[in-house]
Chains A and B, each alone.
Chain A
Amino acid sequence: MRRFLTIILSLVILSSTFLGTAYAEKVFRWSGSWGNTWDLSFHQGFIWVHMMGLTEGLIKWDKDMNPVKGMAESYTISKDGTVYTFKIRKDAKWSNGDKVTAYDFEYGIKYILSPKNGRGSFFGGAWYIKNAKDYANAVISDPNQVGIKVLDEYTIQFTLDGPHPDFLTTCALPTLYPMHRTSIEKLGNKAFDAGNLVTNGPYKLVGYTPNVEYILEKNPYYYDADKVEVDKIVGKLGGDPFLMYRRNEVDLINVGAAQLPVIEKDPILKKELITFPQSTVNLMYFSYFEHPAFDDRRVLTALQKAIDKEKICKFVYRGLAKPAYSVVTDLIPGSTANDPEVVEKFRFDPEAARKLLAEAGYPGGKGFPTVHFLIHSGQANDPLILAVKSEWEKNLGIKVIIDNYEQGVWSVKRFEIQSEPTFTFSGASYLYPDPAAPLTLNYAEGCLVASLKTKDLVEKVRLEKEQTEALKAGDEKKASELAKRIHNIIYTRSTPEARKILSLVQQAQRTTDPKKRLELYRQANKIRDINMYSSFPLVQPMSARLVKSNFEVPFNKYLVGFPVGFAYIRTK
Chain B
Amino acid sequence: MEDKILISVKNLKKYFSRGKDIVHAVEDVSFNIRRGETLGLVGESGSGKSTVARLIIRLIDTDGGNIIFDGVDITTLSEKALKPFRRRMQIVFQDPASSLNPQMTVGTIIKEQFLIHKLGTKQEQEKWVEELLEKVGIDPSFKDAYPHEFSGGQQQRICIARAIALRSEFIICDEPLSSLDVSIQAQIIKLLEDLQKELGLTYLFISHDLAVVKHLSDSIAVMYLGKLVEFSNKKDLFSNPLHPYTITLLSSVPTIKGEEKEVELKGEPPSPINPPEGCPFNPRCPKKEDICERETPILEEICEGHFVACHIVQR
Check whether chain A touches chain B (CB < 8 angstroms).
no
